[in-house]
Amino acid sequence: MIEFDKVSKVYPNGTVGLRNINLTIQEGELVVIVGLSGAGKSTFLRSINRLTDISEGEIRVNGKSVTRASGSQIRHIRRDIGMIFQSFNLIKRSTVIRNVLSGRVGYHSTLRTMLGWFPKEDVDLSLNALQRVNIREKAYIRADQLSGGQQQRVSIARALAQEARVILADEPVASLDPLTTRQVMDDLKRINRDMNITTVINLHFIDLAREYATRIVGLRAGEVVFDGTPEEATDEAFAEIYGRPVMQDELLGGA
């Protein structure tokens, strides 16, 4: 469960990132955050694992305060939270399996992980994670030899090897073509359902949001202006969120 309690974020230059956010995301939900560029989607996501510090209020993940956590407590909380980025964030010159194993670093000493000594259970866990995203056979290939969609699957496998209970994905398909986009979204959805992993995804394609989300949250200028089911997120609702009608390039198309 992720709780936002009267959360605001003002950047040092005075820009408002988030304004009085109050919402609770239950375990197992797949929440898609939508809004125009600059609406606060990344700020929202990054404040959940405290990549961004909030200015007011409190965020709790599974009952534990992220906002008030000490350095060691935050490392512990972050172990449960997998993060997926638009740019994949892989170690490109390393093998796929090494990248997935890096999801285990929070469980071992720095020396051990620097030397790359991972127990056999970790290797098995990582191979199983690759199996779940259908690229088990790529385990010993260098990450930079894979297509964009495959690289994003490696980053999903890394979150699985981490045994994350929450996955945060910041525009995970923004650099992918439409077909690969659907494959990656299918993976995220399947993992969310099969493993009951709470998933929060920033997306800018409206039709994808409707197709994959169990709940859609719309942000405008840092405020929640929509919170409802995909059925409730009509074109009119999106026009409200955006403050203007929906445009063609906000649809991926070809469902």
Q: Which residues bind ligand ATP (CB under 6 A)?
A: 11, 13, 15, 17, 35, 37-43
Q: Does residue 51 contact residue 28 with C-beta atoms inside 8 Å?
A: no
Token pair 């955050």 is at which residue? 33
Task: Using the minimum distance from each CB to ligand ATP, give the nearer residue, 43 or 181.
Answer: 43
Task: Using the minimum distance from each CB to ligand ATP, give the nearer residue, 35 or 149.
Answer: 35
Q: How far is the CB of 242 from ligand ATP (least distance, A)?
A: 12
SS3 9: strand
SS3 136: helix
Angle at 153 between CA 186 and CA 160, to 5 degrees: 90
Structure tokens at 128: 């199983």
Task: Using the minimum distance from each CB to ligand ATP, give the nearer residue, 139 or 203.
Answer: 203
Task: Using the minimum distance from each CB to ligand ATP, give the nearer residue, 123 or 251.
Answer: 251
Structure tokens at 82: 């997998």
Residue 144 burial by Cβ neighbours in a 10 Å radius (0-12, 13-18, 19+): exposed
Task: Using the minimum distance from each CB to ligand ATP, give the nearer residue, 52 or 62.
Answer: 52
Q: Where are the beta strands (DSSP E) in 46-115?
A: 56-61, 64-65, 81-85
